[in-house]
Amino acid sequence: MRLKLRFLWSVGVNSLKRNLLAGIIVVVPIAGTIFILHWLFFSIDGLLAPLVEAIFGRNIVGVGFIMMLIVVYLAGIIGANIIGKRIIRRSELFLAAVPMVRSIYNTFKQALESVILPTKGGFKEVVLVEFPRLGMRTVGFVTNRVKDNAGRDYVNVYIPTTPNPTSGYLEIIPADEVTPTGWSVEDAVKMVISGGMISPPVI
């Protein structure tokens, strides 16, 4: 009887653990996504709250967010035509004349292009590099290919940190010292964010 009770207890505990872990895997990503979307919505909405209140006489939740979307959409329309491109180009030249503003603007622009327009100056390839020492491998993203004065090929590799891939290291490595993986950028980012728990089956 005791052995039977212990067996049933062990089965029940293991089943409880499996169900809890399965629930965490389901709930945490959903909760995290809702939290980020909630934060974005109310941050943007709050940013334009004074303007909304000045127009309508009171703050209306959601109107600021909608106004921001409209502004971004109109900016996209303007930037897509010839006249708009000229205006943007002149604005960028003006910003480039201000040292601190130039650095901040270029950083944000290049970061967004890397995510939204991966074929335009973004991550070009996922590779493995020996970092932080020989014998250890880490995931890196090729951002550019360059040559030295002797004509030897090098690659600029961005090495992200886990679990926050927006911070990391830039390494300039001889092209023959990096190992191509054939992974997509999306798969590699998932691997970095998850700490390796989500990983391509073959390395």
Contacts of 158 by beta carbon, 8 Å cutoff, 6+ apart: 123, 140, 141, 143, 168, 169, 170
Count of CA atoms in the C-beta half-sphere (13 A) of 138: 20
Instruction: Dump pLDDT digits (tens) for 117-134.
Output: 555 556 778 999 999 888
* pLDDT for 4: 54
Token pair in block for residue 164:
């926050």
Asked whether the whole model's pTM tops 0.85, one would answer no
* pLDDT for 73: 81
Query: In CATH, which of 2.30.30, 2.40.30, 2.40.50, 2.60.120 is domain 125-193?
Result: 2.30.30
Instruction: Dump pLDDT digits (tens) for 63-113.
Output: 877 887 887 788 777 777 777 778 777 877 777 777 777 777 776 676 666
Token pair 């100056």 in the structure block, residue: 121
Contact 191, 198 (CB under 8 A): yes
pLDDT at 154 exceeding the cut of 90:
yes
* pLDDT for 2: 58
Q: Say which residue, 181 or 55, is predicted with more confidence.
A: 181
- What is the average pLDDT across 168-172? 91
Q: With cut-offs at 50, 70 and 90, classify the pLDDT of residue 171.
A: very high
